Every structure is written in C-alpha cells, then in structure tokens.
Structure 1
C-alpha cells in the first residue's frame, strides 16, 4: 500500500502546477462553462482526452475550466479488496478523484463540477457521488462505455473484481434508489453513452474475457443505468463512447442543452505543447504494469519531420531532461509541422513517437517509453501503429501499415485491437507508413539491434 500512497501523493502535488495557473473566470463565463473533470479508463492516461479537450475549446470552453486527471496507478486490482503492487482499489481511485475535484473547485471558485469518465473512470465517478460526498459537488455525470453491470456478472468468477456485476462493488452501486428504483444517485444529472453492439466489454459471450462460448450474463445495454439518459451510438467501440466526435457532441448537448457549433478542431495561431513522461513498473508476477508517475531523468528530444518520409528536417527543435514532475515541455510548436518525439531513459528502449500536426495547444501530450519483448528481438525493426482513443475495426475502418490493409493481427468483427505491430524483416532505416481513415503518419524504422522502437501514434 505504501508505494500506492506515495504515487497518489506525488501525482496530487504535480497536478497543482496546472491548477496554480487557473484564475477565477467571470461570472457569465462560469455560468455558461462549468468546470469539467475528465477521468480516463483502466490503464490509460489523461492524454486520451486531448481531442475532446480541443473540441470543447473549439466551441468556446475556456481552457482553464477543462481538467483531465492522471490516476498514478491506473490499473484496477484483480480483486478489489486485496492489495496488489502497481494497482489501485476502487476506494483509492475515489479518493484521488475527490481530491482533484476539491482542487478544481478551489481554483475556479465554482460550487460544482461536471464529471466525464470513460470505462473504469465511470466507476470512480459513481463511487465518489454515491459514497464519497460528491453528490452535492457534481451537477452532471457522463459515463462513456462504463461497465455499469460488469463485463461479466457471475459469482463463480472472482466476484471481488471491480468489473464483476454480481460482486459487492457494482451490486452496491446499482441498488435501487428513490421512488422509481433508480440505479443512479439522485440530485445529479446522469447520462450514459454506449455502442449498439461493438463494445468488447458489453458482450453476452465471454470471447473477449478468454471464455469463448460461455455467457457473461451481461447484455449490449450493460452500460445503461435506470434513471439516466441512456444514449446509443451505433457502430462505435468501447473507447469511442468517450473520445469520438459523436460522444463529444452528446456530452456537449447534455451539459449545455444545445448541440455544439462544430465537431471540428479549430486551429489556433500559437501552439504550446507539454505533458509528462511516465514509465512502467516491473514485478515478478505481472511483468510490466503501466503507471502515470513521472519518469524523472528521462530525456526528450523533438524533431520536425518530412510528412512523406518521416525523415528529420534538421537538428532537434526541443530537448529536455525531465525533472521530478516529469514535464518534458513547454515546447512552442508549428501547427503545420509533423514531429518525432524521442524518449531515452535507463531500462527502456529508445522510443521514437511520430505524430500528426498539433492544431491546438495541449498540456497532456503524455509520453511513455517502451520496452522490447523477447519475442520481437528477431526483427530488423519494430514499428507499431497505435490508436489510443479507439480500436481498429474491420471492415468499419480503412487501416494500413507498410502497405498492408488491414495489417496483421486486426481481425474482423467487434473492434478490440488498438495497436498494429510490424516486425520489419528486410531492413532497418527505411520509411514505414501507417494510415487510418485518412490520417497518415510516416516514420523511420530505427534498428531494433541498437535498442530502438517506433510508434506511429494517431490523433483519431
């Protein structure tokens, strides 16, 4: 437990730097634009909200009233009541969210916030409102793809797991409330967003839990809650329930009572980028586990690249060795330029991350270096096309990697794969291109033998 508590404290202290920059908004703006706190899902980071933040800003929301949090240890425990290195309980998650809400309220002068959560983030929101004193401090709660009735509901399969709908955590949250027997805590406006049948964690068959052919006792409408406005968006996947343009449109409408003026990201003249470099833990039982803790001592270099080839256009335009807060910026970017971010840190591969142009500023361009798995060491180079804000769907999406469409490892059906990995067998040093629904990223296949890995990371 001590390592978890230290991590929570470090992250709370680090987040105060963002809040210190906030000032009290004018009353008119405050009424029209309540502060919004965004809560990511299991194993994820605040960076997944980047395009959602941009869309709110593009519709006039003040940047200092949009706050995406980073849970230090974002993975849930296997069994909620049993301490587990590098993972958080539902109670720890709720406590961290509560502390973040208090800081946002203090910084903005608001009396209430809007909470928006994806997947596991919705569990923390529900728990905070029901059991953590949040009912009076939250006006709206929006849950995208949250497994409100579990990814399974079976007392024979680890009922102590946070995601078991038959277990004590979700059963307690779903107890009938009020005269109508609602599942939501009264006094807060609630909305859920789900897919019709394309969410891998809301499936009647246990295929995606490693139990093909066995019932989960959960249906496609598992994320819906009695007493909430329950929105269905056909075809979207688990992450797109929060991070897609369609999900943004529903959230904006639910908060404001009107549709957004635009779903596009409106470019701004001056772009300032920053974020954290975070690492991975190691233990003998789990292997790697992701954290959102700062990776002090890592070095980040940024290079402008050629859009067609991924080749560098000159020397590094930014370089920094990160300190205890993990921040690698700030970096003044060109909104039309493409960039390669290079992270070097002891115990990791030199990680090259190629990105599309950034049309707007962001303080959550979080970077995480990778490690090389033994099974990949026979390749000349290793290049991964990554979609953090959604999954690859076949035949729904147009996807290619190094000319192959769809790339190997992306099966048809329910979208559930967010990374396509290419083991370059012919030669390192050449251009590799990844494409997804019109977004094209070119990178260089740096040599694996020299401890390099490559990520082509999509905005979409």
Structure 2
C-alpha cells in the first residue's frame, strides 16, 4: 500500500511538472491571473500619469505590486536612451520573476511611445517579453513595433495619425494627457490585455485603511530627492491644518526616492511634507486616496532650483502649484473647467486655452505688488510645455485658502482642498486634484 501511494504521489508530481514545462503563454493567461503592467511616460512626465489607471486596474483584480512606472529624465541630462532601455530590461526581468508570468503588458505616452517603438524594434528578445503594447497619443508607425500586438489610442488632433496593422481607437474630444488617464482609454486597454471588458471603469473605494507608497522625485528629471525626509500629517479637511504636531509617519529618502508603505485612512486628508532643511519645506496636498496606491509621486526640486524657483516670494503672500493629470480648459465655456481660489476664478482663455494643454498651474503674486492680474499668463511659465502661470495675490494669513475645482463633465461636482495660507518666503505648496470624477 505504501509503495502504491508513493508511486501515485510521484506520478502526480510528474504530471504537475510536465504541465508547468509545457504551459504555453496562452495557457498561462487562462489561469485567471494578470500579467505585470509597465507604463512609460512622456516629456516632463512621471508615474503620476498612470496613477488613476493603476487604481482602476486594482479595482478589477490586478495586483498592485505588479503595476509599475518606468521613469527617466526626458531631457536626457542624467541618463541616455540606452540606459533607459537597460533599466527597462531589468524591470521586466524582476517583474517576470516575481509574478511567474510569461510576458508583461506595456504602455507608453507621447515621447515615451517613440522610445518604446525603438526599444521593441531593437531586439527580438526584448519584443518577445512583451505580450501587448499600447501607444498612447504619441508617435505614428507603419507597423506594430517589434511585431508586438499593438493598440494605438489617439486624442484630439490629426486623424491621419496611426500605427499600421494595429487597432487604432480615437477620442477626438480628449486632450493629450487626458487620453492617458480617461476611463474610456482604460476600458480599451483592459479588454486588449485580457480579452474581456472590465467589471468597472470606476476607482472602487476600499473601506478602512489603504496602503500608500511612491517616490519623492526632482521635477522633471525623476531623480530621487536624496537626503530629504518625508513627513506625513493627517489634516483637518475644513482648514488644511495638521491634526497633530507629530507626523503620522516619517521616511528617509535615498537615491531612488522611494518611500512607504504608509497605512492611511482612505477618506482622510493628508499633507506630505518634503523636508529639505528646517527652513525649507515643500508641502504637498492631495484629495483623499480612497484606494491603495503605489504610484504616489511627490514632485519637488532643490531649494532655489527648478521651474518653481521662478516664483517670486515674500512673507506677505502664499504661492500655489496646482496639478491635475487632465488638462485645464479655460476657454471652453460650460464645456470647460472652473478653478477658484478663495472665490477667484483662475482659469480664462488667456492663461489656460485648450491648445496650451496645461496640467500644471503656478499661481503667485508676480511683482510682489499685492495685486492680482489674470489678463495675461506669466510668460516664463506659459512658455513651458504643459505649464502656465498666473498673477494671483493670495495673502499669507491664519485663514486657510479654499481651492475649488469644478471639472468638466462633472455635472456640477466640486472637488475642494483647504490648505493653510503659508508665507512663500518659507514654504512651498503643491496641490494635486484627481483627474477623474467621483
């Protein structure tokens, strides 16, 4: 009897091993698991552009730890193209080893599409490790790069753009970054990856606690903010002030910028303070996360450096940088956006025309004269891709600043962030609004 059981056990083990050896990529996909997903951003981008889609993926059963962004310096001052490709090779190897998957699914946006087309064509071995490629509002191509099955998603602009031999989908009412973050794009690439529509295109709220992690990065190089400290404070949502003097968590930032995980309340408001020195703190504010998130990006710069250093400061006024991964439209009337700061409408046809594709707004007292003038954008910011600048006098005081976004397509929904009116001579402040409704 014992010998018979042993023979049966060995036969079962042999059958399992044989099945594993003979399992084809198609068979692996039928196991019900999902392949790892890697997103490659465009010019001046980061993993922030894929944050909402990662939340939608996990809302549909994907594992958060298998969704990553491959970040690089899009000015190529701290890395070469080949270093970007070598780093991607290493990332794919790690994800495949961690997941046991046969291949990854790859997405790229704008400048990143040109890089990924070149990457997939550079080596048959590289192309063989990618199951699907999604080309988001970027470079056209005569054929699918590396013969990898390709989905191309296009927003507003010329209908002549295409990837030959690929599935080409067009959303002519969506702008350049909106194409990356929209629910419509998500539905397209989810079905392309899995062969079925998603259960939901919403970001499904998790009850209770959520896990948050990410990177503190220098903008736009995506180099880690090495030597800084990230302190996380829970806020009073009515005033934006800290509920406690002691932070809820502290993370020391190394060369890669990574921090976390942090166990947060999903509906709570938090401040992420990037501490450069006792007299130089960058305060970053977000809407409640509501779902676990591993792509939280704290974009900062060294004191006195970067585009933020162009903002004039004083102890009399506060400076705000307001971000959203969906362009602000100030010239589309009822079909556009509204963004009010202490009741003042910031957006208008001059500083946020649809053609500007602005996702970052720099608002401060230009000239330090205590006067607001929104008749024209501030040139040094408006000349930068995806950025705009506005002369708005926001007094530093004990009264909080109310920032209210009424996004287009939101049926009157308003997103509100209350932040302290900190003097710009000592504090930098960045606010990030969600790019989706709900």
Same fold (TM > 0.5): yes
User: CA offset at residue 147 of structure 1?
Assistant: 3.0
CA distance in 2, matches of 1:407, 1:313: 32
User: CA offset at residue 95 of structure 1?
Assistant: 2.7
Aligned to 1:75: 74
The answer on 1:229 being equivalent to 2:167 is yes
8 Å CA contact 2:106, 2:133 repeated in 1: yes
User: CA offset at residue 292 of structure 1?
Assistant: 2.1
* Superposed CA RMSD: 2.5
Three-state SS of the structure 2 residue aligned to 1:275 is strand
The one of 135, 138, 144 aligned to 2:130: 138
User: CA offset at residue 188 of structure 1?
Assistant: 1.7
Question: Residues 234 and 347 (structure 1 numbering): CA distance in 2 closer, same or farther, change over 3 Å?
Answer: farther
CA distance in 1, matches of 2:309, 2:278: 13
Question: Residues 374 and 106 (structure 1 numbering): CA distance in 2 closer, same or farther, change over 3 Å?
Answer: closer
Q: How does 1:406-425 map to 2 (within 5 A)?
A: 406-407=346-347, 410-423=351-364, 425=393
The answer on 1:262 being equivalent to 2:200 is yes
The one of 318, 341, 344 aligned to 1:404: 344
The one of 235, 239, 246 aligned to 1:309: 239
Structure 1 unaligned spans of 5+: 1-25, 78-84, 149-173, 175-181, 198-219, 281-289
Q: Structure 1, residues 289-319: CA drift from partner, whole Å, max 9, x if none?
A: x222222221112122222321222232222
Q: Structure 1, residues 255-312: CA drift from partner, whole Å, max 9, x if none?
A: 22222111111122331111222225xxxxxxxxx22222222111212222232122
User: CA offset at residue 368 of structure 1?
Assistant: 2.5
Larger Rg: 2
The answer on 1:273 being equivalent to 2:209 is no
CA distance in 2, matches of 1:426, 1:69: 37
Q: How does 1:43-442 map to 2 (within 5 A)?
A: 43-71=44-72, 74-77=73-76, 85-86=77-78, 88-133=79-124, 134-148=126-140, 174=141, 182-185=142-145, 187-197=147-157, 220-221=158-159, 223-269=161-207, 270-279=209-218, 290-315=220-245, 316-346=247-277, 349-370=280-301, 371=303, 372-377=308-313, 380-387=317-324, 389-394=325-330, 395=332, 396-402=335-341, 403-407=343-347, 410-423=351-364, 425=393, 427-429=395-397, 430-436=399-405, 437=407, 438-442=414-418
User: CA offset at residue 237 of structure 1?
Assistant: 1.1
Aligned to 2:424: 448
CA distance in 1, matches of 2:89, 2:160: 26
8 Å CA contact 2:225, 2:253 repeated in 1: yes
CA distance in 1, matches of 2:401, 2:30: 46
CA distance in 1, matches of 2:310, 2:431: 21
Question: Residues 296 and 420 (structure 1 numbering): CA distance in 2 closer, same or farther, change over 3 Å?
Answer: closer
CA distance in 1, matches of 2:31, 2:418: 42
User: CA offset at residue 325 of structure 1?
Assistant: 4.4
Aligned to 1:42: 43
User: CA offset at residue 222 of structure 1?
Assistant: 5.8
Alignment size in residue pairs: 360
8 Å CA contact 1:296, 1:325 repeated in 2: yes
CA distance in 2, matches of 1:298, 1:91: 29
User: CA offset at residue 229 of structure 1?
Assistant: 0.9
8 Å CA contact 1:237, 1:415 repeated in 2: no
Structure 2 unaligned spans of 5+: 1-26, 366-392, 408-413
User: CA offset at residue 28 of structure 1?
Assistant: 6.7
User: CA offset at residue 426 of structure 1?
Assistant: 5.4
8 Å CA contact 1:76, 1:90 repeated in 2: no
CA distance in 2, matches of 1:320, 1:351: 15
Q: Structure 1, residues 411-452: CA drift from partner, whole Å, max 9, x if none?
A: 333251112222253521332222332322221121112x21
8 Å CA contact 1:303, 1:312 repeated in 2: yes
Three-state SS of the structure 2 residue aligned to 1:47 is helix
CA distance in 2, matches of 1:453, 1:187: 47
CA distance in 1, matches of 2:161, 2:96: 28
TM-score (norm 2): 0.75
User: CA offset at residue 128 of structure 1?
Assistant: 1.6
8 Å CA contact 2:49, 2:177 repeated in 1: no
Detail structure 1 runs of 4+ shifted over 4 Å in the superposition: 26-32, 346-349
